[in-house]
């Protein structure tokens, strides 16, 4: 089998560093370049923390794809760039695997149309950790029986978007199985704005941002005389890498955009 030629965008970030490490240590995966916001024209080996990884650094993704033969883009950058990077990948026949969060439903629909027009696979996964996928699935199962639910997600304080992509995806999965439902007292008021969290079809989502956290989520269901809490903790970013690896392998076999790793695992 030929090597899968991979570009990682965002290599100096928390997730990007792990992805570079995973790609360079995986048989049949070949890191051919990185796309960074700095260090144009350098070798990655000249950048602190990447000793011995001699691949070119590009700041311009289009230029990177024009100069090199690339199969898959792994994008782990920032919400403002995810969509643009996917469009650039599609334009150049490159299949994107995207962990970057912040996509709207409209973005996903638009990007899926482009993927299908081009006959290219693409995967956007708000969470690559298998435990988080199970948390979302179990939450969807529980919501059929316990429709009163609130989501509390906790992340490190350098995260740019709130609520997290995982919280939104969880809420979407729950919304598929329960009627739209206003929760709490019908006459409740917020004495302090935001006290009740964000409202997703009547479900409340609360975002905590603190140093020391990685990525954590609790989905709390309330019923008569009982509560059920489903909780997942990523305590290290290595937890995401088996999912990224699986997505890279899978994206070559599909010709549409898949949103959520749960559709790949099954
Ligand atoms: P991070 O530590 O802030 O790293 C982001 C990196 O991307 C930084 O090095 C940044 O460089 C770089 N960058 C930003 N814009 C860029 C651009 N246009 N081109 C190239 N590089 C660019 O963030 P992180 O914690 O690694 O997270 C990255 C993304 O993944 C976020 O959207 C986060 O929500 C998401 N995430 C997803 C999962 C998952 O399982 N799907 C898990 C954790 C995080 P500068 O600092 O120089 O701008």
Segment 80-96 shows an average pLDDT of 97
Supply the pLDDT for residue 51.
95
Supply the pLDDT for residue 180.
80
Supply the pLDDT for residue 120.
98
Residue appearing with tokens 């299949």: 95
Same domain flag for 104 and 8:
yes
SS3 of residue 28 by DSSP: coil
Angle at which helix 165-177 crosses helix 130-145, to 10 degrees, equals: 30
The Cα–Cα gap between 182 and 149 comes to: 11
Angle at 264 between CA 120 and CA 78, to 5 degrees: 70
The Cα–Cα gap between 232 and 143 comes to: 17
pTM over 0.85: yes
Q: Per the structure, how many domains does the chain have?
A: 2
Nearest CA owner, ligand 1 atom 11: 37
Segment 148-162 shows an average pLDDT of 97
- Label residues 204-241 b or e (16+ Cβ within 10 Å = b): bbbbeeeeebebbbbbbbeeeeeeeebebbbeebebbb
Supply the pLDDT for residue 265.
87
Segment 173-185 shows an average pLDDT of 90
Where helices occur in 37-129 by DSSP H, the ranges are 61-67, 82-91, 105-118
Same domain flag for 62 and 164:
no
Same domain flag for 14 and 115:
yes
Domain that holds residue 182: 130-235
Same domain flag for 83 and 213:
no
Same domain flag for 111 and 153:
no
Q: What is the mean pLDDT of the chain?
A: 96
CATH classification of the domain holding 166: 3.30.360.10
Ligand 1 center to 255 CA (angstroms)? 26
Ligand 1 center to 9 CA (angstroms)? 8
DSSP state of 233: E
Nearest CA owner, ligand 1 atom 40: 127
The Cα–Cα gap between 23 and 58 comes to: 18
Same domain flag for 119 and 185:
no
Same domain flag for 20 and 98:
yes
Mutate to test the pocket of ligand 1, among 19, 39, 63, 77 (most ligand atoms within 8 A of CB): 77
Would strands 203-209 and 198-200 be described as parallel, antiparallel, or unpaired? antiparallel
Provide CB contacts within 8 A for 229, sequence distance 6+.
Answer: 218, 219, 220, 221
Give tens-digit pLDDT for 18-31: 999 999 999 999 99
CATH classification of the domain holding 21: 3.40.50.720
User: Could you tell me what percent of the chain has a pLDDT over 90?
Assistant: 95
Ligand 1 center to 82 CA (angstroms)? 10
Nearest atom in ligand 1 to the alpha carbon of residue 243 is 40
Same domain flag for 60 and 119:
yes
Per-residue confidence at 266, pLDDT binned at 50, 70, 90? confident
Supply the pLDDT for residue 181.
85
Give tens-digit pLDDT for 29-79: 999 999 999 999 999 999 999 999 999 999 999 999 999 999 999 999 999
Segment 111-130 shows an average pLDDT of 97
CA dihedral 143, 123, 154, 188 (to 10 degrees): -40
Q: Is residue 2 scored above 90 in pLDDT? A: no
SS3 of residue 40 by DSSP: coil
Same domain flag for 247 and 120:
yes
Same domain flag for 104 and 19:
yes
Q: Is residue 1 scored above 80 in pLDDT? A: no
Same domain flag for 21 and 104:
yes
């Amino acid at each position: 089998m030929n090597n899968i030629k991979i570009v990682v965008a965002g290599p100096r970030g928390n997730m990007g560093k792990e992805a570079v490490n995973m790609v360079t240590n995986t048989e049949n995966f070949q890191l051919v370049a990185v796309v960074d916001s700095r260090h144009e024209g350098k070798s990655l080996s000249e950048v602190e923390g990447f000793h011995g990884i001699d691949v070119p650094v590009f700041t311009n993704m289009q230029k990177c794809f024009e100069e090199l033969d690339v199969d898959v883009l792994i994008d782990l950058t920032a919400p403002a760039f995810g969509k643009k990077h996917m469009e650039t990948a599609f334009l150049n026949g490159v299949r994107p695997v995207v962990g970057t969060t912040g996509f709207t439903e409209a973005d996903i629909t638009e990007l899926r149309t482009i993927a299908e027009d081009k006959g290219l696979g693409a995967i956007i996964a708000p969470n690559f950790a298998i435990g988080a996928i199970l948390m979302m699935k179990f939450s969807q199962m529980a919501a059929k029986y316990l429709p009163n639910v609130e989501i509390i997600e906790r992340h490190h304080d350098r995260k740019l978007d709130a609520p997290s992509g995982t919280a939104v995806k969880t809420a979407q999965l729950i919304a598929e199985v329960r009627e739209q439902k206003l929760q709490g007292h019908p006459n409740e008021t917020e004495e302090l704005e935001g006290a009740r969290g964000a409202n997703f079809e009547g479900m409340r989502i609360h975002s905590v941002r603190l140093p020391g956290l990685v990525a954590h989520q609790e989905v709390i269901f309330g019923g008569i005389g009982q509560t059920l809490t489903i909780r997942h903790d990523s305590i290290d970013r290595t937890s995401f890498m088996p999912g990224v690896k699986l997505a890279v392998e899978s994206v070559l076999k599909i010709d549409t955009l898949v949103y959520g790793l749960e559709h790949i695992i099954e």
